[in-house]
Amino acid sequence: MALLTPNDLININKQLQEADSVVKRVTGLDIKGVCQSLYGTSPSSKKVGIVPVTSGNGIIGNFSASLHVITQYFGFDGFVTDMPDVSGYYEAVQNGAEIILMADDHTFLAHNIKNGKMANNQPCTGIIYAEIASRYLKADSKDVLVMGLGKVGFPGAAQLVQKGFRVYGYDPDARLLKRAVSNLGIIPFDPANPKKFSIIFEATPCANTIPEAVLSENCVLSTPGIPCAISEELKNKYDVQLVAEPLGIGTVSMLYSVL
């Protein structure tokens, strides 16, 4: 499980603002607008209880505080409980939380205790980053490249297939590539025989996963992957429209999916 570090989350509000302006440039919508079109739900100021969890590797510095900033940025009424774990959950419900946000080392969930809906961060992240990529106003074809077909990448690839794109996918894990080809009907991308794309979605925990040969001028790279999939040098050389943010875009996708 690739865990966030406090350093990934420094000044999350500025990171959200920067990501929002790229999303607007790429899709014509802001992040909230993409969520509304994805889930058909509208903005809400619902009370969100953020519960720190000490299990496993324990509390991650800046994590709960960042979730608080994220809920406020997107217009929800968030609060972080004083206590963690079971006591924190009890405190959140006692203080009127309608949605609970909490994460251990394996699962980051949003649970709407009023309507029973529950969301998992991994598919919600893949779906929204794929949706942003698919809405690139200047895309010159329906071809899209997906790098990484794991817990975030596979649901993102499924979203792109569902929206009628011609999805080329790659993962060095042959089992996962085979699963995506047989379950989603994607085209296995051959790194030895690359082609250029204007839309790329990446979801891997590795740097430099995007070969220069697939980059076209002004292409969109939509990636939740940490560290970033592309070097600053390549990003500048091709003027890549990079949509990348460590926590907030995936979280607001979870929140809108449980409204």
Ligand X SMILES: NC(=O)C1=CN([C@@H]2O[C@H](COP(=O)(O)OP(=O)(O)OC[C@H]3O[C@@H](n4cnc5c(N)ncnc54)[C@H](O)[C@@H]3O)[C@@H](O)[C@H]2O)C=CC1
Ligand Y SMILES: N[C@@H](CCCCNC(=O)[C@H]1CCC=N1)C(=O)O
Interface ranges with ligand Y (CB under 6 A) = 3-4, 52-53, 59-60, 63-64, 103-105, 108, 121, 247
Nearest approach in angstroms of CB 105 to ligand X is 12
Instruction: Please identify, using beta-carbon distances, which residue of 33 and 211 lies nearer to ligand X.
Output: 211
What CA dihedral angle connects 174, 128, 38 and 105, to 10 degrees? 90
151 binding partner (options ligand Y, ligand X, Mg ion, none; Cβ < 5 to 8 Å by kind): ligand X
Q: How far apart are CA 201 and CA 42, in angstroms?
A: 26
53 binding partner (options ligand X, ligand Y, Mg ion, none; Cβ < 5 to 8 Å by kind): ligand Y
For position 203 contacting ligand X by CB under 6 A, the verdict is yes
Contact region with Mg ion (CB under 5 A), list: 28-36, 170-178, 213-221, 241-249: 241-249
Q: How far apart are CA 181 and CA 160, in angstroms?
A: 13
210-239 footprint of Mg ion as x/- string (CB under 5 A)? --------------x---------------
Alpha-carbon dihedral sign for residues 6, 147, 212, 217: negative
For position 150 contacting ligand X by CB under 6 A, the verdict is yes
Taking CB atoms, the residue at the shortest distance from ligand Y is 4
For position 256 contacting ligand X by CB under 6 A, the verdict is no
The DSSP output letter for 104 is: -
Compute CA distances 64 → 37, 47, 78, 116, whole Å: 27, 15, 10, 23
End-to-end CA gap in the chain: 27
